[in-house]
A and B are shown apart, each in its own frame.
Chain A
Amino acid sequence: MNWPQFWQYTAANALLGILPAVVGLAISVPIGIACVRWRWLYGPVLSATSVVYAIPSLALFVVLIAYTGLSNLTVIIPLTLFSLCVLVPNVVDGLRSVPEPVRQAATAMGFGTLRRLVQVELPLAVPIVIAGLRIAVVSSISLASVSGLIGVASLGYFFIDGLQRNFNEEIYAAIVAVIGLALACDLILVLARRMLTPWSRKPGGRATVNAEGAQLLQEPAI
């Protein structure tokens, strides 16, 4: 086992998984806000995301090779698109979950629309958005390994090399690393949510479970 190469590729996989989720989040917030503001927008956006979801990631990677070559971008762009598909509904649901009395109280306190959005609505949307971000990060990290099929460095290389050389140790190690990486990021996000929403620390996690559970309505395709 070439361990230095293994850790290097683990880092590459982490990058290929985390960056799309973060960029996806950045893009999905304005889109989500627009969909809440103009309700008619949400339907078409949802239809578009469900079509994009069904595209196999490998196909998107291959199509992009002609434009972005055999580079990280070829993997990052499709994974960002998939993250968007998960995150936009979450941003919308999160914003919609803000109770109307709260919005009105903020307006009554003199908050302008932007200030209300930034200081009241988005923070309250955080639990649901982070639930979506968890899904986006975990699936991006796992999907990024498919990049091994187009020669972009990730843990997927060890699946293929392990298969070709009958080298099972590589396969096991890479699977464990992908899962470990994804779960570590998941844990960080759970802790982040706790830190960012101190007001929602209730005993009995039923509310938390609901936020997560509701998000498993959509799965990114491979």
Chain B
Amino acid sequence: MMRTGYLPVQRGAKRGVQRGVLAGVAVSIALTIAACGSSSSSSGGGSSNPLAPTASKGTVVIGSANFPENELLAEIYSLALQGAGVKVTDKFNIGAREVYYPEVEKGAITVIPEYNGALLTTSVDTKSTAATTAAVNAALTSKLPAALEILNSSSAQDKDSVTVTQSFAKAHHLTSIAQLTTLAKTMVIGAAPEFKTRADGLVGLRTNYGLTFKSFSPLDESGPITLAALKDNKVQAADVFTTTPQIITDNLVALADPKFNFAAQNVTPLVYKKGANSTVVNTLNEISAKLTTAGLLAMDKAVILDHAQYNAVAAGWLKAVGIKS
């Protein structure tokens, strides 16, 4: 029989391929186990089974929206809860409220740092006109689904705004949103995509102030794209969150909101009741009691402008206010 170069009848080659197949199978089994056991958490989190739609027993899943301040707040919650002995999984940077709120409703997320006014008008009661902290919280308490509740609000607020550059404000003598009635149709306004359809976004500005803008430019959540667009005059007004540190460094002017289009926006924990025991509730309330707007702004500056690590800044603040982490 002729041995051709093609037929891999040499035992060595055959074994080589068989070994290769076995190795491949072993690798895939290992990887599958790793995939099931791994977490999509940031540092410091425990592990969770990604195949389960709800949190595994006893683990508190902390979520955050997709912007730095919210990730910072979630990190504070996470470290404090771990300090109180609670098992935690972090699921940060999910997306806008429209994406993570259904997850909270399902219980896939147990705790998330929220802003009471925005939560109310975006996901709970789009027609609500509550403006003060007390009114907003009362509305939330009565209208939230039974499975959810809000804990104590902190005094720290981070509101949406209609913000312009200092030169624009000076040129048109602007201090308040109400002054934009005739100017608006020459202006392009920029904000995160969800601003277009949210009740306190373009819709609210039209209802409360009668503003119709020339056009809407979808940007990001008060991040570099929004700030750059404002500075480069690609948009003449933008929704810059009021604790964005660049308001100070870039000399931006947040216009006054006399009609309370943007309701109170206190940092408030939203929790899935079944997942939050009394330790969780007490710890989060303690955080809310100690959090102030000035403190939040300082932390934002550290994280956003000074590029400090989220967990370091969070741990530092917790230590400063005397909460165990």
B94 in contact with A19 (CB, 8 Å): no
Assembled-state Cα–Cα distance A18/B39 (Å): 17
| Of the residues A9, A120, A195, A198, contact of B7 by C-beta under 8 Å | A120
* Residue of B20, B27, B223 with most partner-chain A CB within 10 A: B20
Assembled-state Cα–Cα distance A23/B25 (Å): 10
- A36 within 8 Å of B by Cβ? no
- B210 within 8 Å of A by Cβ? no
B93 in contact with A148 (CB, 8 Å): yes
Interface bin, chain B:
35 or more
Question: In this complex, what residue of A is CB-closest to B223?
Answer: A164
- A196 within 8 Å of B by Cβ? yes
| Of the residues B13, B42, B99, B225, contact of A5 by C-beta under 8 Å | B42
Minimal beta-carbon separation of A215 from chain B (angstroms)? 19
Complex interface bits, A171-199 against B, C-beta within 8 A gives 1, otherwise 0: 00000000000000000000010011111
With A124-B8, A163-B223, A163-B224 given, is the CB distance from A153 to B41 under 8 Å? yes
Minimal beta-carbon separation of B283 from chain A (angstroms)? 23
Complex interface bits, A136-166 against B, C-beta within 8 A gives 1, otherwise 0: 0000000000001111110001001101111
- A76 within 8 Å of B by Cβ? yes
Minimal beta-carbon separation of A115 from chain B (angstroms)? 11
- The binding surface of chain A is classed by DSSP as helix
Assembled-state Cα–Cα distance A92/B304 (Å): 52
Assembled-state Cα–Cα distance A151/B67 (Å): 11
Minimal beta-carbon separation of B9 from chain A (angstroms)? 8
Complex interface bits, B290-323 against A, C-beta within 8 A gives 1, otherwise 0: 0000000000000111010111000000000000
| Of the residues A25, A71, A153, contact of B51 by C-beta under 8 Å | A71
Question: In this complex, what residue of B is CB-closest to A164?
Answer: B223
- A222 within 8 Å of B by Cβ? no
Question: In this complex, what residue of A is CB-closest to B108?
Answer: A69
Interface bin, chain A:
35 or more
Interface hit among A81-89, A98-106, A205-213: A98-106
Assembled-state Cα–Cα distance A92/B312 (Å): 53
B40 in contact with A123 (CB, 8 Å): no
A161 in contact with B68 (CB, 8 Å): yes
- B31 within 8 Å of A by Cβ? yes
With A2-B311, A126-B17, A198-B12 given, is the CB distance from A102 to B38 under 8 Å? no
With A157-B93, A165-B307, A196-B20 given, is the CB distance from A15 to B41 under 8 Å? no
* Residue of B40, B53, B221, B305 with most partner-chain A CB within 10 A: B40
Question: In this complex, what residue of A is CB-closest to B300?
Answer: A165
- A26 within 8 Å of B by Cβ? yes
- A119 within 8 Å of B by Cβ? yes
B17 in contact with A196 (CB, 8 Å): yes
A15 in contact with B38 (CB, 8 Å): yes
Minimal beta-carbon separation of B74 from chain A (angstroms)? 11
Minimal beta-carbon separation of A156 from chain B (angstroms)? 10
Question: In this complex, what residue of B is CB-closest to A156?
Answer: B93
Question: In this complex, what residue of A is CB-closest to B36?
Answer: A72
A4 in contact with B7 (CB, 8 Å): no
| Of the residues A101, A153, A195, contact of B40 by C-beta under 8 Å | A153
Q: Lowest 3 CB-CB distances: which A-B pairs, in order? A: A71-B50, A151-B94, A5-B43
29 contacts between A and B (CB under 8 A): A2-B310, A18-B27, A18-B31, A19-B32, A22-B24, A22-B27, A22-B31, A72-B50, A99-B6, A106-B7, A120-B7, A123-B13, A123-B14, A124-B8, A149-B95, A150-B95, A151-B93, A151-B95, A157-B93, A161-B93, A163-B224, A164-B67, A164-B221, A165-B68, A165-B304, A166-B304, A166-B305, A198-B12, A198-B16
